[in-house]
Chain A
């Protein structure tokens, strides 16, 4: 499939994109996260698209997945209103505050901290400690 973006043309292998997207969608809707960190590498590495094309479009693709999985979770009764109301304003507020903080910290440091944090969480979930 050929797409055009800001005056440049790209060839996209939609078979790889769709299969990858499908698998990521199952996983992310099953465990209740967005899937961005998997989607971006898929599109940049496997589909060889440039970053500036990926940032917006991957978000759109993920949005499809998140909205349908929200509906399905709701249908299965997995949604709790009060719990949602406690988290939702915090998420919005966080979205506003984060860019202010982002100017002052190095993304490299954040990523390294995230790495350690994720490993610790993972080991906890796997029951290592």
Chain B
């Protein structure tokens, strides 16, 4: 995007700055899987169908050397999505908060590792940590590190955020390119940031027989990216099968939302917006207040950044038409509107940056409280004291509006 081109001089500055502060912070080293003797035979893989309609189950079977666990790495080959994470957790050793922002646009739109069925207990154990689960730890516990390869190669940009940079609404200074090991480690955090739930990225579904033959039901959920998917069977770092390819087809009215990385029936948001827009006008608040939380609740697959970023322009047009209607009858004080508008311009510049830096849970938490405040405001507007005052105000409002309309008509 445009942003990347202008950043080259910053990069130089960043390299100079970074030279002195490059603290080694490799805490969770990933042990290199030592190469097995050359005798290892590459696993084989066959799948029972090559096409799915908006999700479904594919039977995978094949042969691996006897006595070894087998893992299936499944990913979308045609579509990538963005994943970002703001690292503000204190460093385990120094206690310093790094305030670094990691972002990649090369995360596969679907990524999941299937493991043997007997490892289900380990997944359940990690699931007990609720939102605190760690992708890298679970990967290590499952012994599936060799299977993790595609996201590790995604190019990650990292930025050093500062308070000043946040105030002017920038991501911060671009840091030098991560080395392969660091890239791999950060990519795991991004996988979690993007897919959030364990069930989205791990499943225990493979039956391995003592003789090394295996079968698995690879279940691809609804609402995913269309296009080609690849499945690779992995025994260890050196022994990988050829990639088996299948295609996921989606048909209208299901439409793939490229930035959100998910497909959904386009009529759902249409009717939802219609209902919310009507209700919004009736209650005297823009639809955005109800639209955002509803979308997040009903379509958990949509990232909150996309929801906020797409609802905003929708609201924009209803505001513009409102302003147009009021300005026709000269019912706007431009001096007052522009004065406060200038201050809001600054705020609006900073806000979207912050959306990107918070996680979905923080987003939901803050939004929850905003809604409670809003509900309190609404309640206050139904109290008798307010109603009595409001009645007078509304009468004056109508009177002035009438005068304004007459004046506007008189001119024509």
Q: Which residues of A contact B (CB under 8 A)?
A: 1, 3, 5-6, 12, 14, 17-19, 21-38, 41, 43, 49-53, 55-70, 72-84, 86-95, 97-99, 101-102, 105, 107-108, 110-112, 114-115, 117-119, 121-127
Complex Cα distance, B157 from A76, in Å, reads 14
23 A-B residue pairings within 8 Å (CB atoms): A6-B403, A25-B348, A27-B347, A29-B351, A30-B351, A31-B308, A31-B370, A32-B310, A37-B289, A59-B319, A65-B341, A66-B312, A73-B310, A75-B1, A76-B309, A83-B269, A91-B277, A95-B321, A97-B274, A101-B278, A121-B294, A124-B297, A127-B364
Complex contact B305–A126 (CB within 8 A)? no
Q: Which residues of chain A are near B408, meaning CB under 8 Å? A: none
Complex contact A33–B311 (CB within 8 A)? yes
Complex contact A88–B314 (CB within 8 A)? yes
Report which of A21, A57, A102 forms a contact with B282, defined as CB distance below 8 A: A102
Q: Report the minimal beta-carbon distance from B300 to chain A, rounded to whole angstroms.
A: 12
Complex contact B393–A73 (CB within 8 A)? no
Does B400 sit within 8 A of A, measured CB to CB? yes
Q: Which residues of chain B are near A50, meaning CB under 8 Å? A: 393, 396-397
Assuming A50-B396, A78-B305, A114-B375, what are 20 further A-B pairs, CB within 8 angstroms?
A25-B351, A28-B288, A33-B312, A34-B315, A36-B286, A37-B374, A52-B397, A52-B401, A56-B337, A57-B336, A58-B340, A59-B323, A82-B256, A84-B310, A87-B270, A92-B317, A94-B274, A95-B321, A118-B290, A125-B365
Q: Which residues of chain A are near B154, meaning CB under 8 Å? A: none
Report which of B257, B287, B345 forms a contact with A94, defined as CB distance below 8 A: B287
Complex contact A63–B1 (CB within 8 A)? no
Q: Which residues of B contact A (CB under 8 A)?
A: 1-3, 82, 105, 169, 255-260, 266-267, 269-294, 296-297, 305-323, 326-327, 331-356, 363-372, 374-375, 377-379, 381-382, 387, 390, 393-394, 396-397, 400-401, 403-404
Residue of B nearest to A122 (CB): B371
Given A41-B377, A93-B274, also A77-B1 (CB < 8 A): yes
Q: Which residues of chain A are near B105, meaning CB under 8 Å? A: 77
Q: Report the minimal beta-carbon distance from B101 to chain A, rounded to whole angstroms.
A: 11
Complex Cα distance, B396 from A57, in Å, reads 16
Give chain A's interface secondary structure class. Answer: helix
Complex Cα distance, B255 from A5, in Å, reads 49
Given A72-B349, A88-B317, also A94-B276 (CB < 8 A): yes
Complex Cα distance, B311 from A11, in Å, reads 35
Residue of A nearest to B356 (CB): A76
Complex Cα distance, B393 from A45, in Å, reads 13
Give chain B's interface secondary structure class. Answer: helix
Complex contact A32–B292 (CB within 8 A)? yes
Given A91-B314, A91-B317, A102-B282, also A64-B345 (CB < 8 A): yes
Complex Cα distance, B294 from A19, in Å, reads 30
Q: Report the minimal beta-carbon distance from A98 to chain B, rounded to whole angstroms.
A: 4
Complex Cα distance, B394 from A108, in Å, reads 14
Complex Cα distance, B315 from A18, in Å, reads 22
Report which of A38, A80, A98 forms a contact with B258, defined as CB distance below 8 A: A80
Report which of B297, B308, B396 forms a contact with A30, defined as CB distance below 8 A: B308
Given A33-B315, A79-B310, A83-B306, also A119-B370 (CB < 8 A): no
Q: Which residues of chain B are near A114, meaning CB under 8 Å? A: 279, 283, 285, 375, 378
Q: Report the minimal beta-carbon distance from B299 to chain A, rounded to whole angstroms.
A: 10
